[in-house]
């Protein structure tokens, strides 16, 4: 009997085969217009140029390209290689890291901010994911 694939394995395979990507060239020229209001509010109130930010679950780079345009030191993290390829095309200055939000490749207290929008429902352990994200933040 074979073991059923984990939630994260299924998620990775799904987004590698069907990357969610509905951005237009116009969206790429003006990435602010396609960002959700809470994301914009957070960026406007909490981030400033030069800060180190990890976008966990970057998908095809909708947020990544906006964060890069703000002059942030951006690391885009996703479980899907296909998504990272798209994010890298939209934000060439961003570092790209293939990883799960349950085991982030960052030192404790190494980041100024973490953004994880629309990811938690793909995570088998939300509490562990939250703790892992928080672990990477500076005091």
Q: Which domains does the chain have, with CATH numbers?
A: 7-15+24-135 (3.40.50.150)
Query: In the prediction, which pLDDT does 61 show?
Result: 94
User: What CA–CA distance (Å, rounded) separates 106 from 97?
Assistant: 10
φ, ψ for residue 135, nearest 5 deg = -55, -30
Query: In the prediction, which pLDDT does 13 show?
Result: 78
- For the stretch 93-115, pLDDT in tens is 999 999 999 999 999 999 999 99
Alpha helix segments (H runs only) across 18-119: 25-29, 37-46, 62-69, 81-90
Query: In the prediction, which pLDDT does 3 show?
Result: 54
| Mean pLDDT value across residues 6-22 | 76
- Please report how many Cα atoms fall inside a 13 Å half-sphere around the Cα of residue 44, on the Cβ side: 8
Q: Is the pLDDT higher at 56 or at 12?
A: 56
Mean pLDDT, the chain, rounded, equals: 90
- For the cut 80, the answer to whether the pLDDT of residue 14 exceeds it is no
Instruction: State the Cα torsion 9-12-13-19 to the nearest 10°.
Output: 160
Stated pTM of the model:
0.86
């Amino acid at each position: 009997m074979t073991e059923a694939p984990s939630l994260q394995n299924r998620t990775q395979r799904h987004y590698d085969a069907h990357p969610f990507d509905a951005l237009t060239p116009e969206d790429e020229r003006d990435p602010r217009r396609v960002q959700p209001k809470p994301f914009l509010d957070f960026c406007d109130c909490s981030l400033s140029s030069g800060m180190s930010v990890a976008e966990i679950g970057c998908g095809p780079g909708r947020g990544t390209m906006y964060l890069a345009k703000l002059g942030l030191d951006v690391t885009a993290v996703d479980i899907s290689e296909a998504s990272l390829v798209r994010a890298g095309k939209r934000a060439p200055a961003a570092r790209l890291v293939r990883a799960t939000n349950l085991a982030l490749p960052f030192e404790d207290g190494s980041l100024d901010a973490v953004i994880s929008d629309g990811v938690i429902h793909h995570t088998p352990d939300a509490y562990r994911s939250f703790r892992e994200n928080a672990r990477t933040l500076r005091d």
